[in-house]
Structure 1
Amino acid sequence: MSVEADKLTPDEHADMRADVLTGIDQIQHSRKRRARALAASFAVVLVAGLTAGTATLLASRTVMVPQPASSSAPTAAVETPQPCLAYEGSNIEYANGGAAIAEAISNVTLPPGFVVSPGITITSATDGTSVDAVARVCGASLSRAAMVDAGNAIAKQISSQPAVGELRILTIEPWIPVSSEAIARDENTPDIQTRYSEYDWNTPEALPDEAWR
Structure 2
Amino acid sequence: MSIHDDKLTAREHDDMRDLVMAGTQSIPQARSTRAPFVAGAVALLLVGALTGGILTATLREDGTTVPIATPSPSPEADAPASPVAYSSGFFEGDIYVVNPGSAPRRIIGSDVDALDQICPAFSPDGTRLASGQAMGDGQSGWQSAALVISDLGSDGEPTGSVQIPVDGVGQPPCPIWSPDGQWVAFGGGTTDAQLPASFDQVWLVHVDSRSTRVINVNTTDIEWSADSTGFYVAGDSLRRYDIGEADLGPRIPGTQGVVALTASPDGAALAVERQQPGSMERVDLVLMGTDGSDQRILAEGYTRARGIGPVWSPDGERIVFQRTCTRNCADLSAELRQDEIVIISVAEDDPSGPMGTPTVLAPTQTTEGSEPRLWIPVTLSWGPDSSTLRFIGWELSPSGEMASGSGLLTVPVDGAAAPAVLWETPEGIGAYSAIPQNDFQSWRK
TM-score, reference length from structure 2 = 0.16
Q: Which has the higher strand share?
A: 2
> Which has the larger Rg?
1
Higher helix share: 1
Larger relative contact order (Cα-Cα within 8 Å, sequence gap ≥ 6):
2
Q: TM-score, normalised by structure 1?
A: 0.28
